[in-house]
Amino acid sequence: MTSVTVSGLTVRHRKTTALDAVDLTLSTGVHGLLGPNGAGKTSLVRVLATVCAPADGTVELLGENIAGHRGRTAVRRRLGYLPQEFGYYPGFTVREFTAYMAWLKEIPGSTAAAAVERAVARVGLSDRLDTKIRTLSGGMVRRVGIAQAIVNDPALLLLDEPTAGLDPEQRVEFRALLRELGEESTVVVSTHLVEDVTAACHEVTLLDSGRVAYRGTTAELTALGERTAGSAAGSGGSPIERGYTAALREHRTTARSVVQ
C-alpha cells in the first residue's frame, strides 16, 4: 500500500530553495533518508509531518491530500513524528507526557493507559514510567520522544535523527524496533548515520541540494559501493558508505553537465 505520494514538492525558506520539485512515493516498510547537511532531509520530514507547508507541489498521505484542513487533521490522528528537537514539559513524568501526547492524538480514554505503557515498554523505559523527564539522561529523553511518536501505533512514522544520544546497545535495540514497526507501517528515518540505514531500512532515498540524488534498496546501494572498491573513488569506509559517496558524485556530475 502506498502511504506517501509527493509530486513536484518545492519548499522555500526565504530566498533558499530547500526542496526543488521532488517526486517520491513510499509504501509499507522502513525507508532511510540520507544526505549531507542542508540537503533538505528535515524540510521533507516536516512537510510529511504536516508542520511545514510547501511552496508548490502536492502531498498525499495515507490517502488524504494535506492541502486542506480536513485532510491534515485526518492524517495527524494516524501519524507519529519525532523531530530532531522535541518540546516537552520537564515537570511531567514519562507516563504523564506520553499520556498527554496520546490525548492529542485522540486515543480513546479506555485504551490510552495501556497504549502508554506499551509504547514506553517498547523503548525500554518501563522502570521510569513515573520518573520526571527533567531527571532523565539525554538518551532516555530521546527514548521518551520515540515513545510518544509510536503511542498511537501510527500508520506513518517520521523520525528525524532518532538515534542521537543513544548508546550502541540502545541503537541496536532501536533498529530491531524499527524493523518490527515497518512490517505494518511506513517508517521514514532521516539520519546521517549510514549504519542505521544498513541495519534497519529496506529502501534508501538520498537527497542532495534539495533534489533526489538516488533511490533504491540498501542492497543496491551496497552493491554500488562494492563496485567502487579498489578505485581511487572507493577507498575507505563500508560498502554502503562507498555507495553513498558514489551516488552523490554521480548525481553532482550529472547536474553539472546539465547546467553546462
Phi, psi of 175 (to 5 degrees): -60, -40
| One domain for residues 181 and 67 | yes
Specify if 233 maps to a domain: no
The residues, any chain, with a CB within 8 Å of residue 20's CB and separated by 6 or more, are 10, 209, 210, 211
Q: Are residues 177 and 208 both part of a single domain?
A: yes
Q: What is the domain count for the chain?
A: 2
Domain boundary among 126, 153, 180: 153
CATH of the domain at 31: 3.40.50.300
pLDDT of residue 199: 87
Q: Choose one of 130, 153, 176: the last residue of a domain.
A: 153
Do 102 and 152 form a contact (C-beta atoms < 8 A)? yes
Planar angle of CA 61, 64, 68, nearest 5 degrees: 110
**Torsion-angle region of 236 (φ positive above 0: left; ψ -120 to 50: alpha; else: beta):** left
pLDDT digits (tens, 9 = 90+) for 119-167: 999 999 999 999 999 999 999 999 999 999 999 999 999 999 998 888 8
Condensed to tens digits (0 to 9), the pLDDT of residues 178-232 reads 999 999 999 999 988 888 888 899 999 999 999 999 999 999 999 999 987 766 5
Question: Looking at the structure, do residues 12 and 107 belong to the same domain, yes or no?
Answer: no
- Shared domain for 11 and 63, answered yes or no, is yes
Same domain, 139 and 161: no
Are 51 and 171 in the same domain? yes
Q: Which helix (H) or strand (E) holds 7?
A: strand 2-13
Domain carrying residue 172 = 2-78+156-222
Indicate if 145 and 43 belong to the same structural domain.
no
172 and 62 share one domain: yes
In a domain, 250, yes or no: no
- Residue 59 and residue 13 in one domain: yes
Taking the C-alpha atoms of residue 71 and residue 77, their distance in angstroms, rounded to an integer, is 10
pTM here is 0.93
Asked, for residue 145, whether it belongs to a domain, the answer is: yes
H or E stretch at 23: strand 16-27
- Same domain, residue pair 8 and 110: no
Question: In a 10 Å sphere around its CB, with 0-12 CB exposed, 13-18 middle and 19+ buried, how is residue 170 labelled?
Answer: middle
Residue type, 259: V
Verify that 206 and 163 share a domain, yes or no: yes
Residue 17 within any structural domain of the chain: yes
- CB distance 9 to 22 below 8 Å: yes
**70 and 112 in a common domain:** no
pLDDT-derived band at 25 (thresholds 50, 70, 90) equals: very high
